[in-house]
């Protein structure tokens, strides 16, 4: 069973991070999980010899302390038990390090309102946690609720998407959910004219990928449907999630990426940026 027993929820006081915190309470109840809530104070880069440096550092820490105090109040109202931690340093590094130190299974993060992908994801803390971390991450857009009744799992046949499909099957089995497996053929338009056989072969492979998930899921009597699509991968995935009213998208992330590749974006990041529902990124 790939269930989550220890959750880490980074907050910064924003509406989106508080929404993610509230959604973590639901998952914790269902999974019997422990929750650690962290807020990170960015590093101070000013003159440490300043007479008023104590006041400066106190003012820098205040948003962190206020966010955690608010989290404790919300948790008490919701009847949830949490542990709060205030860290200092580069935000994504502290989140990743704390997840390791606390032996957390899942990091739950908020996503602000939909914007252009370059503004929404490039350089964001979430992108860096996904790119450099090795814990599963659930990204929760504002005004969405995490659920496991209708699960869309995306596959490209890689070992990363196989790990995602195993997690999807596990949750569908545990919560009586159904699966929608999708694989996308994403090639330049000129391929259709210049190398039609290559496209045909890729389409055949895509059908095999989703058929394999269906076969494994049906062993556990999980209702499963399959879709193969053509086009921009993230567009096909997010459009399908919206059309089918999916509760969650589950997908893999292709391991740790260098900063250059990270900032160029990936299918995972683009899917998160446009998704109408929470996205669970499964790491291996």
Q: What is the pLDDT of residue 40?
A: 92
DSSP string, 262-280: HHH--HHHHHHHH-SS-EE
Contact yes or no for 182/155 (Cβ under 8 A): yes
pLDDT digit string, tens, across residues 134-178: 899 999 988 899 889 999 999 999 898 999 999 999 999 988 999
Pairing state between β 136-141 and 279-282? antiparallel
Q: Give the Cβ contact number of residue 72 at 10 Å.
A: 15
Gap between the Cα atoms of 220 and 165, Å rounded: 14
**Which residues lie closer than 8 Å to 198 by C-beta, 6 or more apart?**
187, 191
pLDDT at 280 over 90: yes
- What letter does residue 2 receive in the DSSP assignment? -
Gap between the Cα atoms of 145 and 253, Å rounded: 22
Q: What is the pLDDT of residue 133?
A: 86
Contact yes or no for 149/178 (Cβ under 8 A): yes
The number of residues in the chain equals 284
Instruction: Pick 44 or 78 by higher pLDDT.
Output: 78
Domains of the chain: 1-111 (3.40.50.620), 147-277 (3.40.50.620)
**Which residues lie closer than 8 Å to 267 by C-beta, 6 or more apart?**
186, 233, 234, 237, 251
Displacement of CA 87 from its chain's centroid (Å) = 22
- Which pLDDT band holds residue 58 (cuts at 50, 70, 90)? confident
- Which pLDDT band holds residue 45 (cuts at 50, 70, 90)? low
Q: What is the pLDDT of residue 257?
A: 46
Contact yes or no for 103/88 (Cβ under 8 A): no
Gap between the Cα atoms of 116 and 213, Å rounded: 33
Contact yes or no for 129/136 (Cβ under 8 A): no
The interaxial angle of helices 267-274 and 125-132, nearest 10 deg, is: 140
Q: What is the pLDDT of residue 11?
A: 93
């Amino acid at each position: 069973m790939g269930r989550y027993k220890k959750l880490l929820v980074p907050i910064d006081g924003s509406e989106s991070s508080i929404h993610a915190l509230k959604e973590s309470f639901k998952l914790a109840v269902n999974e019997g999980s422990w929750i650690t809530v962290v807020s990170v104070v960015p590093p101070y880069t000013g003159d440490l010899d300043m007479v008023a440096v104590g006041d400066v550092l106190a003012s820098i820490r205040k948003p962190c302390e206020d966010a955690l105090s608010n989290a404790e109040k919300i948790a008490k109202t919701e009847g949830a038990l949490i542990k709060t931690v205030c860290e200092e340093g580069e935000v994504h590094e502290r989140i990743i390090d704390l997840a390791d130190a606390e032996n957390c299974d899942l990091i739950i993060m908020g996503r602000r309102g939909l914007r252009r992908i370059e503004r929404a994801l490039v350089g964001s803390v979430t992108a860096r946690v996904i790119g450099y971390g090795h814990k599963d991450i659930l990204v929760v857009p504002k005004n969405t609720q995490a659920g496991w009744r209708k699960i869309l799992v995306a596959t490209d046949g890689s070992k990363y998407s196989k790990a995602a499909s195993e997690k999807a099957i596990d949750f569908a089995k545990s919560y009586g959910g159904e699966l929608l497996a999708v694989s996308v053929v994403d090639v330049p338009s000129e391929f259709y004219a210049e190398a039609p056989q290559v496209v045909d072969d890729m389409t055949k492979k895509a059908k095999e990928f989703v058929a394999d998930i269906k076969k494994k899921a049906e062993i556990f009597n999980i209702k499963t449907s399959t879709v193969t699509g053509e086009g921009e991968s993230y567009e096909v995935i997010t459009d399908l999630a919206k059309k089918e009213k999916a509760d969650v998208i589950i997908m893999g992330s292709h391991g740790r990426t260098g900063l250059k590749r990270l900032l160029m974006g990936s299918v995972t990041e683009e899917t998160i940026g446009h998704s109408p529902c929470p996205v669970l990124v499964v790491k291996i």
